[in-house]
Amino acid sequence: MPRIAVYPGSFDPITNGHLDIVRRASRLCDHLYVAVADNSVKHHTFSVGERMAMVRAAIRGIPHCEVDTFHGLLGEHVKSMKATILIRGLRAVSDMDYEFQMASMNRRIYPDLETVFLMPDERYTYLSSSIVKDVTRMGAHVEEYLPPIVVRMLRRKFKLRKV
């Protein structure tokens, strides 16, 4: 039976830290779904379609990876896909409490699910989508933190000329 993994997130937008996790996770499974959350309660900068397009472009060339979307309970979605591995990135110790709670709840929903925590490269330890959006708005150079398509889409979204 193939080892199917899901790496969920809002990816608003996807960063090079996320891509580092995707590359690492793709070596641990037979197929990896990068699942973009469609959560109408959260206010996103990009629509789910825009986020999926950015993720699709960013993961191009990474073997056996594809983009997916979900709404509702993640554990239910993963179960419906017959995935048994849930990938989560841990940037800092501060992420652990929340991630452990989520892993516990997802295991209650889907007992066959194993959550695997991966650390990104240390260059991306404190990188987040929120920080990248904030510094982009201020005109900072963000090319080292984002895939090229994301840089273009952020500049267009914030109506910034190339800096």
Catalytic site residues? Answer: 18, 42, 91, 129
Q: How many CB atoms lie within 10 A of CB 142?
A: 20
Q: Which residue bears the tokens 């940037």?
A: 91
Name the nearest CA neighbour of 13 among 162, 156, 125: 156
In single-letter form, the type of residue at position 28 comes to L
Bridge pairing between strands 4-9 and 85-89: parallel
Residue 85's H or E segment, with its range, is: strand 85-89
Q: List the beta bridge partners of residue 87.
A: 116
Helix (H) or strand (E) holding 76: helix 74-80
What DSSP line would sit under 31-67, residue for residue?
Answer: EEEEEEE--TTS--SS-HHHHHHHHHHHHTTSTTEEE
